């Protein structure tokens, strides 16, 4: 059972790096939703079922709903500027993720 924990932690690192590198906003929010789900599984492995159910419903559910509603709201105000594309004005990601020393 303890072999699953390093695998899940590696998946979490890959997801956090993927959020940094992604240029568009909608895939970044979907990856963040999946990050919340894997974090909920890690908490189940650490024997805290209260945290797992709360993170699954609040983190992967409500927080992601708020992000999606914000993205919809950002596109609504200027409908003639972006026709089906992503939000204007800088969708560039960060240029470094830092922290991966050594």
37 sits near other proteins (criterion: CB under 8 A): no
The DSSP output letter for 91 is -
Q: Find out whether 63 and 71 touch, Cβ atoms under 8 Å.
A: no
Kindly tell me which of 1 and 84 has the beta carbon lying closer to other proteins: 1
Helices (H) and strands (E) in the chain, counts: 4, 0
Which residues make up the interface to other proteins (CB under 8 A)? 5-6, 9, 12-13, 16-17, 19-20, 25, 28-29, 32, 35-36, 39, 42-43, 46-59, 61-63, 65-67, 69-74, 76-78, 87-102
């Amino acid at each position: 059972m303890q072999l699953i924990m390093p695998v899940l932690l590696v998946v979490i690192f890959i997801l956090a790096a993927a959020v940094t590198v992604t240029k568009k906003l909608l895939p970044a929010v979907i990856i963040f939703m999946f990050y919340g789900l894997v974090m909920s599984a890690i908490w189940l492995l650490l024997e805290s079922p209260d945290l797992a159910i709360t993170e699954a419903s609040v983190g992967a559910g409500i927080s992601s709903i708020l992000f999606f509603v914000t993205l919809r709201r950002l596109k609504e105000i200027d409908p003639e500027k972006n026709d089906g594309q992503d939000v204007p004005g800088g969708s560039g990601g960060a240029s470094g993720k830092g922290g991966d020393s050594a």
